Amino acid sequence: MIDIQAVSKSFGKTEAVKNVTLTVPDGAITTLLGANGSGKTTTLRMIAGLLKPDTGHISIDDKRVSSNRAAAVSTLGFFPDRFGLYPRLTAREQITYAARLRGVDEKHLHAAVGDAMETLAIGALAERRAKGFSAGQRVKVALAATIVGRPKTMIFDEPTRALDLYAVKLLRIVLKSLKKDGHAILLASHVMADVEELSDTVVVMAGGKIVAQGSCEDIRIEAQQPNLEDAFFALSGFDLEAIK
Amino acid sequence: MSRSLLHDTAIILGKELRDATRDKRSVFLTLFYGVFGPLIMLASIYLQPGNDSVNKPVSVLVIGARYAPNLVAHLVSENIDVQQSKNASHDIGVILTIAANYGQKITSGEAVQITLTGSRRDNDNALNKVEGALENYERTLAVQRLILRGVPPVLLSPFAIEIHNTDESSAFAIYFSQSVVFFFLVACSSAGMSLAIDTTAGERERHSLEILLAQPVSRLAIVLGKWLTITIFGLAGIATCGLTFAILNASGQLAQMGIGFGYGFAEVPVTLLYLVGFASFLAALQLLVGFAARSFKEAQAYIGFTMIVPILLSMLANASYFDKVWMKNLPVLFEVMTLKHLLTLGNFLNSAWPVTLMMEAIFTVIILAIATARLNSGKMLPSD
């Protein structure tokens, strides 16, 4: 479970995140929905301990990220919006490296890496170096490195970007499966189809603040719009009529 | 699940070493200066004008050779190729003209007019060699005349000079050792350079750094793992340079060129020991510069500048005004002095080493602390 309490973050004079309070429960998928610059990535980076909040605090499974980062993120899988692979390492080596860094012990390492590769169906890539991978293959290997060892909490920043339809379908199945297994999943996405299919709770962010949260239906009703996309635009302060 | 700094550093070191040894550019740069540095130096000395002229016979066109057969015979005995007429196949730079009254003047004990025509700028140094041979002959004649007039030979040579030349190496040896020291330092610098760029700015540009920083390992472990990898590559560059030099020395190539050294295979680990502080310090500097750079290209430019540190200091160390002892104990200057000693005289123990090593360790720790703070600051993350 991720617990975010009254978190704010500024970069110079720019307030990127303003007083955000949010809970990401276990066994559910929570989605951050927001335009570029709405504060989604900054929020995710603060959860992963990459940035320190100016005020407020974040806990992962009751461990404070600010005071004990290593312990707090030891059960966290992080998939950033722009992920990178090591071009000279094979898919198996990349995933093994991630598992070791996460603290998977040597006894269970082989099984954990095998499980992650099997989940993402990348067995054929196992011994190939990442240099020649397609965009979709790269995403799948990066996702396998994120879920290896099955960390209890996982955050994904726009994971379906650059994926083909088959890979998107596969990812949705994986995320649903992880949710079913009791993992707390926080997703940031622009893709309404993903949001509608996967999310238990949608958190709409605009200008660094949470402007609405609830189920897709709750959001639509709150915004008095016929669908989630229009509800998002309305809640984010976009002039729908002008767009139309 | 217990974690330790050592364990996390070992994980990162293992990955970095595996990644770096597969990087052709890093491996090439590790070997390049180490192997080709001493070879290029040797070639430049071999091809240096005047080096091969020491034993090369000089051709001289002697006009009027028939008037002075003994003089001609003396020139031949001094390894001078005497030509009595112009020959297209001979490169003649000096002309010696002997007057027709040579024999008459010698017999009467008068001064003889001899004309030498040539250039002192000639690469073969021919004019000086012929001039020297003539002066030797002139001294011989003078001594013979005095002996004939009853002067005892011992009065003509009051000193019985016997030279024991302990200098196995020539002036080239000193020049060569200074240049080789330079290559040791540059080999260390270049070996770690490409790796330092790739593991810092490269990792940042590939967006793998963000994932690494999100892992439950300390930033210090990340810095230490990367720093150790660069240090190992720097030391590999030094070892390559030392082995190349030892092979050249053992093959007798250096001795054939009049360059004799005490540096052999046993001196390679000693060199590594003396340079481990320097390699660690330089690796830390390269790592920090790489982390401070905003892009791969910027890192390439700035890390390239770190090569100037050993180059500049090795040049300064060779300057005569660095004779003060305390200066020789400074990092890099110490290494330059010690390596010169090691190359020319072989293995030895330098009492200043622990002091210099400690100074370098302090600098290294400070730089690594700054690099860790840089990773902690969040400034290494890509902007939205």
- The pLDDT tens digits for A15-51 are 999 999 999 999 999 999 998 889 999 999 999 999 9
Six token digits for residue A23: 């809970």
Q: Judge whether A162 is closer than 8 Å to chain B, CB to CB.
A: no
Rg (CA), chain A: 18
Taking one residue from A and the other from B, the number of pairs with CB-CB distance under 8 angstroms is: 86
Cβ neighbours of A139 in B, within 8 Å: none
CB atoms within 10 A of CB B319: 8
Which tens digits make up the pLDDT trace of A179-206? Answer: 999 999 999 988 899 999 999 999 999 9
What CATH number has the domain bearing residue A77? 3.40.50.300
Kindly list the residues of chain B whose beta carbon comes within 8 Å of any beta carbon in chain A.
Answer: 1, 3, 8, 11-12, 15, 18-19, 22-23, 203, 206-218, 378, 381-382, 384
Question: Could you give the residue ranges of the DSSP H alpha helices within B78-125?
Answer: 102-107
Q: B42 Cβ partners below 8 Å, 6+ apart?
A: B176, B248, B253, B254, B257
pLDDT confidence of residue B1: 44
Where does the pLDDT of residue B36 fall: very low under 50, low under 70, confident under 90, or very high at 90 and above?
confident
> Is residue B355 pLDDT above 50, yes or no?
yes
Taking the CA of residue A158 and the nearest CA in chain B, the distance in Å comes to: 13
Taking CB atoms and an 8 Å limit, are A70 and B217 in contact across chains? yes
Q: Is the pLDDT of residue B348 over 60?
A: no
H or E stretch at B33: helix B24-46
d(CA A230, CA B302): 50
Reply yes or no on whether the pLDDT at A151 is more than 90: yes
Determine the residue of chain B that is closest to A42 in CA distance.
Answer: B384
Q: Convert the pLDDT of each residue in B247-269 to its tens digit.
A: 888 887 777 766 667 778 988 99
Name every chain B residue with its beta carbon within 8 A of the beta carbon of A188. none
Q: How confident is the model at residue B55 (pLDDT cuts 50, 70, 90)?
A: low
pLDDT over 90, % of chain A: 76
Looking at per-residue confidence, does B65 or B364 come out higher? B364
Crossing angle of helices B353-376 and B267-292, in 10° steps, is 30
- The pLDDT, as a whole number, for residue B172 is 61
Residue by residue, DSSP assigns chain A as -EEEEEEEEEETTEEEEEEEEEEE-TTEEEEEEE-TTSSHHHHHHHHTTSS--SEEEEEETTEETTT-HHHHGGGEEEE-SS----TTSBHHHHHHHHHHHHT--HHHHHHHHHHHHHHTT-GGGTTSBGGG--HHHHHHHHHHHHHTT--SEEEEESTTTT--HHHHHHHHHHHHHHHHTT-EEEEE---HHHHHHH-SEEEEEETTEEEEEE-HHHHHHHHT-SSHHHHHHHHHT--HHHH-
Tokens of A192: 């309404």
Q: In chain A, which among 78-137 make CB contacts under 8 A with chain B?
A: 78, 80, 82-89, 93, 97-98, 100-103, 105
| Contact (Cβ atoms closer than 8 angstroms) between residue B263 and residue B342 | yes
Average pLDDT, chain A: 92
Chain A: closest CA distance from residue B1 (Å): 7
What's the pTM value of the predicted model, to 2 decimals?
Answer: 0.79
Give the model's pLDDT for residue A237.
82
Region B18-37: mean pLDDT is 89
- In this structure, what token pair is assigned to residue B103? 């024999």
Cβ atoms < 10 Å from Cβ of B177: 22
pLDDT in tens, B367-378: 999 999 999 988
Q: Could you tell me if B200 and B225 are in contact, meaning their C-beta atoms sit under 8 angstroms apart?
A: no
Non-local (6+) Cβ contacts of B156 within 8 A are: B143, B146, B147
Structural domain range at position A106: 2-243
Angle B32-B35-B38 (CA atoms, 0-180°, nearest 5)? Answer: 120
Contact assignment for A50 to B213 by CB distance below 8 Å: yes
Task: Specify the number of domains making up chain A.
Answer: 1
Q: How far apart are CA A3 and CA B288, in angstroms?
A: 35
Are the beta carbons of A86 and B217 separated by less than 8 Å? Answer: no
Average pLDDT value for residue range B303-308: 83
Task: Give me the pLDDT at residue B350, please.
Answer: 64
A45 to chain B, closest Cα gap in Å: 8
Lowest-pLDDT choice from A74-78, B58-62, B281-285: B58-62
- Cα–Cα distance measured from residue B355 to residue B358, given in angstroms and rounded to the nearest whole number: 5
> What's the average model confidence in pLDDT over B219-242?
96
**Element (H or E) spanning B17, and its range?**
helix B5-21
| Closest residue of chain B to A49, computed from CA coordinates | B214
CA distance A159 to B249: 60
Q: For A86, which of B11, B208, B216 is closest by C-beta distance?
A: B208
**Average of per-residue pLDDT across B17-33:** 90
- When mean pLDDT is compared across B218-222, B240-244, B300-304, the lowest value belongs to B300-304
> Which 3 state secondary structure label does DSSP give B114?
strand
B287 CA: distance to closest CA in chain A (Å): 18
Closest residue on chain B to A88 (Cα): B19
What order of strands is seen across the sheet that includes strand A55-60? A14-24, A2-11, A55-60, A63-64
Q: In terms of Cα–Cα distance, which of A85, A88, A146 is closest to A113?
A: A146
State both tokens at B139.
Answer: 């001294």
- Rounded Cα distance between B194 and A176, Å, is 43
In angstroms, the CA A191 to CA A162 distance is: 12
Q: Are A130 and A87 in contact (CB under 8 A)?
A: yes
- Residue A101 has its nearest CB partner, among B18, B215, B384, at B215
Q: With an 8 Å Cβ cutoff, is A145 touching chain B? A: yes
Q: Residues B157-205: pLDDT tens digits? A: 666 666 555 454 455 666 677 777 888 888 999 999 999 999 999 999 9
By the 8 A CB rule, do B309 and B282 touch? yes
- Assigned token pair, B62: 């002697």
Cβ atoms of A2 and A184 closer than 8 Å:
yes
Question: Does the pLDDT of residue A232 top 70, yes or no?
Answer: yes
Cβ neighbour number for residue A31 with a 10 Å cutoff = 25
Specify whether the CB–CB gap between A189 and A160 falls below 8 A. yes
Structure tokens at B276: 């481990």
> Pick the residue with more confidence: A205 or B52?
A205
Asked which of A30-34, A214-218, B100-104 is least confident by mean pLDDT, the reply is B100-104
Pairing relationship of beta strands A153-157 and A76-79 according to DSSP bridges: parallel
Q: What is the pLDDT of residue B320?
A: 58
Q: Say how far apart CA A183 and CA B295 lie, in whole Å.
A: 37
Phi, psi of A20, rounded to the nearest 5 degrees: -90, 130
The answer to whether the Cβ–Cβ distance between B381 and A51 falls below 8 Å is yes
Answer whether residue A157 shows pLDDT above 50: yes
Residue of A nearest to B22 (CA): A88
Question: Measured between alpha carbons, how far is residue B147 from residues A8, B16, B109, B140 in Å?
Answer: 108, 82, 13, 11
Task: Verify whether the Cβ–Cβ distance A82 to B382 is below 8 Å.
Answer: yes
Looking at this predicted complex, what is its ipTM? 0.92
- Among left, alpha and beta (phi > 0; psi -120 to 50; other), residue B178 is alpha
SS3 category, B83: strand
| pLDDT at residue A215 greater than cutoff 70 | yes
Q: Which residues contact A201 (CB under 8 A, 6 or more apart)?
A: A28, A29, A30, A31, A213, A214, A215
Rounded Cα distance between B81 and B60, Å, is: 6
Residue A31's DSSP bridge partners are A187, A202
Cα–Cα dist B364/A64, whole Å: 32
A37/B213 CB distance under 8 A? no
Amino acid, single-letter form, for residue A243 = I
Q: How confident is the model at residue B49 (pLDDT cuts 50, 70, 90)?
A: low
- DSSP per-residue codes, B273-337: HHHHHHHHHHHHHHHHHHHH-SSHHHHHHHHHHHTHHHHHHHHHHTSTT---HHHHTSTTHHHHH
Smallest CA–CA separation between A12 and chain B, in Å?
13
